[in-house]
Amino acid sequence: MMDRLREGANSIAIKIILGIIILSFVFAGVSSYLVSGSNNAAAKVGGVKISRTEFEQAYQNERNRMQTQLGDYFSNRLADPGYVASLRQSVLNRMINDVLIEQHANSLGLRVSDAQVSKEILDIPQFQSKGKFDQDIYKNALARAGFTPDSFASYIRNNLLRDQLLQAVQRSEFALKNESESQAALIAQKRTIRTITLDVNEFAKKVVLNEDEIKTFYNQHKEDFTRPEQLKLSYIELSAAKLKNSIAVSDKTAKDYYQQHLDQYSTKDQREVSHILIKGDDKKTAEAVLKEIQDGANFADVAKKRSQDPASASKGGNLGWIEKGVMDPAFEKGAFSLKHVGDMTGLVKSSFGYHIIKLDALKKAQAKPFAQVKDEVVESIKQEKAVDKFYSLQNELEKVAFESPDSLDPSAEKIHGKVIHTDYVSLDNLPKILSSASVKEAINHDEVKSEGLNSSVIEVAPEDVVVVRVDDVRPEAVLPLGDVKDSVKTKLAQDKAQDQAKALAEKVIKSLSKGDTSVLKGNNLDFSAKEVVDRNSPLANAVFEMKKPEKNKVIYRQTSDQKGDVVIVELSKVESHPQESLVHQVRIQLNRLNQQQDLSGILSVLRSNAKIESYIATK
């Protein structure tokens, strides 16, 4: 079964469908992925319906996208019903926003012609074969993705229509020069300081405590000396990675596998190419350069004179050896379409500009010797066998854990595993294997926690599952003073020491502000050497909140460092000399921020003026 799944994931059809999904992100996010659906509405915006099918498909696409980006972190977040509800609501909101933007664009008289839609579809790489639009690929891809030609054209038209309005908003925004410069100056600002650090631990060593103080502090802070609810747990783990260690592979099996999967152990097809690049959209110049070569000019000579890629131009355009999956897709397609050394493409348009590509040499794919890849082959076989064995045993584990819910012993015996027992642990201090949100949720389930039954089989990592049970529960309790007296004394001493250090710092600052250094000298305190700090300094929050001192004067304040020690800060100078590159970056960011605010403002007005009805729960 696993082999069939792997083969399906690598099929051309699946890749095309994934390509269409990716396009939906490129054009508009997942929010309007489908335009077909059932008659059941998820929401209505004016007279426009968003079907439940559209919404659920968009939500699933968003989940898939975030799972790919965030992995286990996202899986853990999905265990929180509140997070799931928020995610579903955000998807529905984006779909509603898309409809509002389309309606507004239509009201402004914006239109998308049939020719624009046609060109957009014809230019989609996923519908092309050998650089040309392929009708069969197009129809098959749409059918598999649930589109008809008309619904897909409508989808493209709506994307282009929204894009017209969004681009108009984006291009109308700008940031003033002095605005960018002032913001950059704040970011680049540096401050000259000196510091005195009062070590709280040293103050704590001198604190004297009496029994009444200790008891009073304990009674006032019992929450700090409360033991959380704790549980004794038992669990068994089934892991493909651990199963792999027990699998042996003979030389014959390894050699047979090597022959059957020879393409996996072969070098890739490589080719040495040279190119001439004309940047941007200057097609006229690119055509002139191409004609020059076609008329007999030497490629390398022309590359040195005319190519706008400085790194390769000096080498006659030579880029060295390349293989698939490395270069810009359009460039790669052109380079690998060349069959014989000396062949040259016409103009190839990529995101960098226009290329003319020449094939200089070829290296065909070659199989690596078995001896060289034997360890890799054996590892692959072990992995595949372990995964197959894992899924077989997982089915057995699910069955036995359910049929014998009062003990893990039958389950452990069935999978040849071992029951592991913990001491009392809280949910915040679980063994790493049990620390995921899904396991915590299972532990808190009434059947597991209160009735003492086995949990279901819980996935904690790919091909790694556990079954857990609660053996005993120890409720939350305030620990007796006798058990925590040392902790109480330590915390009380630290609190008193902190107060003493802060009081001394305040006294030092008051005297220094009057020009009096007696308190400083009386406590044997000295400032550190001057240092210039920026906004990355550990003390930045406090230092950059201080007022700019008057010329030739200093100001003081106290703060705390990351260790909790009290720090006296002397600020003597504030200066800023932002580089032009920073000003430019700030200007770009301000433009983006303004664009986002404009779009948010437009959507806010559109939402307030539109009749929006939601018929689907986001939980």
pLDDT at 118: 86
* DSSP, residue by residue, 44-83: EETTEEEEHHHHHHHHHHHHHHHHHHHTHHHHHHTT-HHH
Mean pLDDT of 33-47: 63
Q: CA 58, CA 21: separation in Å to the nearest integer?
A: 10
Distances in Å between the Cα of 395 and the Cα atoms of 402, 441, 556, 582 are 11, 22, 69, 59
pLDDT at 188: 92
Task: Report residue 539 as tokens.
Answer: 């003390």
483 CB-side CA count, 13 A: 8
pLDDT at residue 7 greater than cutoff 70? no
pLDDT at residue 552 greater than cutoff 80? yes
**Range with the largest mean pLDDT of 73-82, 192-201, 264-273:** 192-201
List pLDDT tens digits, range 225-258: 999 999 999 999 999 999 998 899 999 999 999 9
Beta strand spans in 202-351 (E): 226-227, 230-239, 270-279, 318-323, 348-350
Mean pLDDT of 85-105: 89
Binning pLDDT at 50, 70 and 90, where does residue 9 land? Answer: very low
pLDDT at 617: 62
pLDDT at residue 447 greater than cutoff 70? yes
pLDDT at residue 26 greater than cutoff 70? no
Binning pLDDT at 50, 70 and 90, where does residue 270 land? Answer: confident
List pLDDT tens digits, range 418-437: 999 999 999 999 999 999 98
Residue 275's beta-bridge partner residues? 357
Of 17-26, 440-449, 464-473, give the lowest mean pLDDT range.
17-26
Task: Report residue 552 as tokens.
Answer: 């030739």
Q: CA 338, CA 303: separation in Å to the nearest integer?
A: 19
pLDDT at residue 446 greater than cutoff 60? yes
Between 28 and 355, where is the model more confident?
355
* Residue in the block written with tokens 């008659």: 39
Distances in Å between the Cα of 59 and the Cα atoms of 53, 67, 84, 93, 438 are 10, 12, 10, 11, 21
Of 134-138, 492-496, 529-533, give the lowest mean pLDDT range.
134-138
pLDDT at residue 28 greater than cutoff 60? no
pTM, two decimal places: 0.51
Between 123 and 356, where is the model more confident?
356
pLDDT at 83: 87
Distances in Å between the Cα of 340 and the Cα atoms of 134, 272, 361, 363 are 26, 11, 8, 12
pLDDT at 189: 94
Binning pLDDT at 50, 70 and 90, where does residue 149 land? Answer: confident
List pLDDT tens digits, range 476-520: 999 999 999 999 999 999 999 999 999 999 999 999 999 999 999
Q: CA 556, CA 505: separation in Å to the nearest integer?
A: 10
Q: CA 226, CA 217: separation in Å to the nearest integer?
A: 14
Per cent of the chain over pLDDT 70 is 93
pLDDT at 430: 94
Q: CA 281, CA 303: separation in Å to the nearest integer?
A: 18
pLDDT at 618: 52
Q: In what order do the strands lie in the sheet with 348-350?
A: 318-323, 270-279, 353-363, 348-350
Mean pLDDT of the chain: 87
Q: Do residues 544 and 535 lie in contact, with contact meaning Cβ atoms separated by under 8 Å?
A: yes
pLDDT at 34: 33
Q: CA 10, CA 242: separation in Å to the nearest integer?
A: 27
Binning pLDDT at 50, 70 and 90, where does residue 19 land? Answer: very low
Q: Do residues 370 and 377 lie in contact, with contact meaning Cβ atoms separated by under 8 Å?
A: yes
Other beta carbons less than 10 A from residue 190's beta carbon = 15
pLDDT at residue 38 greater than cutoff 60? no
Task: Report residue 28 as tokens.
Answer: 């508009």
Between 456 and 132, where is the model more confident?
456
Mean pLDDT of 403-407: 95
Q: CA 235, CA 238: separation in Å to the nearest integer?
A: 10
Between 134 and 484, where is the model more confident?
484
pLDDT at residue 338 greater than cutoff 50? yes
